[in-house]
């Protein structure tokens, strides 16, 4: 039986997910998923030498995703690994103004932002240790939708429903928490000065601040069914 403490990060190969993986690797053994095959995301091999890092190939566009998840999770269980924490980070952030929507691009946005978290939660829940917390990374757009990214905003808002409902379904053994985060790592096309000016605190958040919120939720046994907002006051500005 493996007595080490294992966490899984769904979407932990780059940017915020990788920052979280780096931080958690200081304390825990990790399973990290990516839509790319393990040999294609080598950043993870540079993580703390103390951590054992399993790389799993979970692509939201894979029609066999449900069975792949079950196979991977059963393989972990077969080794005696029981997860103590799960964070679903994966997402895409497409610019999608009205007029550009079609079946293909809506489906693509919702597959990664909504379907993947739902399937991951369903597969992971039976494998989590009693008292653990499953956490989802949402967006402060759940409070005020981004008008040029309504499909993305709808998906993240849909995840609030998952947080509230799953907390009831999995209680009292497993807790469920969401994080509605504001701008932290803007993509290349974004204007960071504009974004930081739109927060009350006049700055971007940092990956470390997101990690702190995740660790807070993991270590707060009376917290479940909540979406915590960490956005520098973006939603009030
Ligand atoms: N960055 C910010 O400032 C910010 C602000 C608010 C909310 N958020 C939310 O925070 C989360 C992380 O943001 P980020 O900026 O780090 O996002 P990102 O760079 O776009 O990465 C998100 C993750 O999603 C995974 N992913 C993408 N397509 C996938 C697919 N088809 N199947 C499975 N996984 C897939 C990526 O891994 P692979 O490519 O390896 O598969 C990656 O690890 C997202 O949910 C985002 O909506 C971010």
Q: For residue 25, with 0-12 CB atoms within 10 Å meaning exposed, 13-18 middle and 19 or more buried, which class applies?
A: buried
Q: What is the pLDDT of residue 21?
A: 96
Residue range 82-118, pLDDT digits in tens: 999 999 999 999 999 999 999 999 999 999 999 999 9
Which of 33-42, 188-197, 205-214 holds the top average pLDDT?
205-214
* Cα 224 to ligand 1 centroid, rounded to whole Å: 24
Any ligand 1 atom below 6 A from CB of 14: yes
> pLDDT tens digits, residue range 36-49?
987 766 677 667 56
Which distant-in-sequence residues (6+ apart) come within 8 Å of 34 by Cβ? 11, 12, 13, 40, 41, 55, 56, 57, 58
Q: Residue 41 has what pLDDT?
A: 63
CA distance 91 to 109: 8
* Ligand 1 mean position, distance from CA 93 (Å): 8
Q: Which of 91, 120, 190, 228 to mutate to test the pocket of ligand 1 (most atoms within 8 A of CB)?
A: 91
β-partners of residue 56 are 33
**Ligand 1 pocket, residue 207 CB under 6 Å:** no
Kindly report, residue by residue over 48-87, the tens digit of the pLDDT: 566 689 999 999 999 999 999 999 999 999 999 999 999 9
Q: Which atom of ligand 1 is nearest to the CA of 59?
A: 32
| Residue 139 Cβ contacting ligand 1 at under 6 Å | yes
Kindly give the number of the ligand 1 atom that is closest to the alpha carbon of 90: 24
Instruction: Identify the residue whose C-alpha is closest to ligand 1 atom 13.
Output: 16
Any atom of ligand 1 within 6 Å of the Cβ of 17: yes
Structure tokens at 116: 């993947």
φ/ψ (deg, to 5) at 142: -65, -20
90 alpha carbon to ligand 1 midpoint, in Å? 4
Ligand 1 atom nearest to CA at 15: 16
Q: Report the nearest-CA residue for atom 14 of ligand 1.
A: 16
Burial environment of residue 210 by CB neighbours within 10 A (0 to 12, 13 to 18, 19 or more):
buried
Q: How confident is the model at residue 181 (pLDDT cuts 50, 70, 90)?
A: very high
For ligand 1, say whether the CB of 117 is within 6 Å of any of its atoms: no
Asked if the model's pLDDT at residue 196 lies above 70, the reply is yes
Q: How far is the CA of 3 from the centre of ligand 1 (A)?
A: 30
**Ligand 1 atom closest to residue 12's alpha carbon, by position in its atom list:** 43
9-29 per-position pLDDT tens digit: 999 999 999 999 999 999 999
- pLDDT, average across residues 220-236: 98
Q: Answer yes or no: is pLDDT of 1 > 70.
A: no
19 Cα nearest atom in ligand 1: 16
Average pLDDT over residues 157-185: 98
Domains contained in the chain, CATH given: 6-236 (3.40.50.720)
């Amino acid at each position: 039986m493996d007595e080490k403490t294992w966490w899984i990060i769904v979407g932990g190969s780059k940017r915020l997910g990788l920052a979280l993986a780096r931080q958690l690797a200081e304390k825990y053994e990790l399973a990290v998923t990516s839509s790319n095959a393990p040999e294609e995301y080598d950043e993870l091999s540079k993580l703390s030498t103390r951590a054992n890092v399993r790389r799993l190939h979970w692509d939201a566009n894979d029609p066999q995703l449900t069975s792949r998840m079950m196979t991977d999770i059963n393989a972990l269980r077969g080794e005696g690994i029981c997860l103590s924490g799960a964070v679903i980070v994966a997402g895409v952030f497409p610019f999608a103004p009205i007029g550009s929507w079609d079946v293909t691009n809506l489906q693509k946005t919702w597959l990664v932002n909504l379907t993947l978290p739902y399937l991951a939660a369903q597969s992971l829940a039976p494998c989590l240790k009693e008292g653990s917390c499953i956490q989802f990374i949402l967006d402060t757009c759940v409070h005020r939708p981004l008008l040029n990214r309504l499909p993305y905003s709808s998906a993240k808002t849909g995840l609030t429903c998952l947080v509230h409902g799953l907390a009831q379904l999995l209680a009292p053994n497993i807790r469920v928490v969401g994080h509605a985060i504001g701008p932290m790592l803007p993509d290349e096309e974004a204007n960071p000065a504009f974004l930081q000016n739109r927060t009350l605190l006049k700055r971007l958040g940092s990956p470390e601040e997101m990690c702190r919120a995740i660790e807070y939720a993991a270590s707060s046994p009376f917290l479940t069914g909540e979406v915590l907002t960490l956005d520098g006051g973006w939603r009030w500005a």
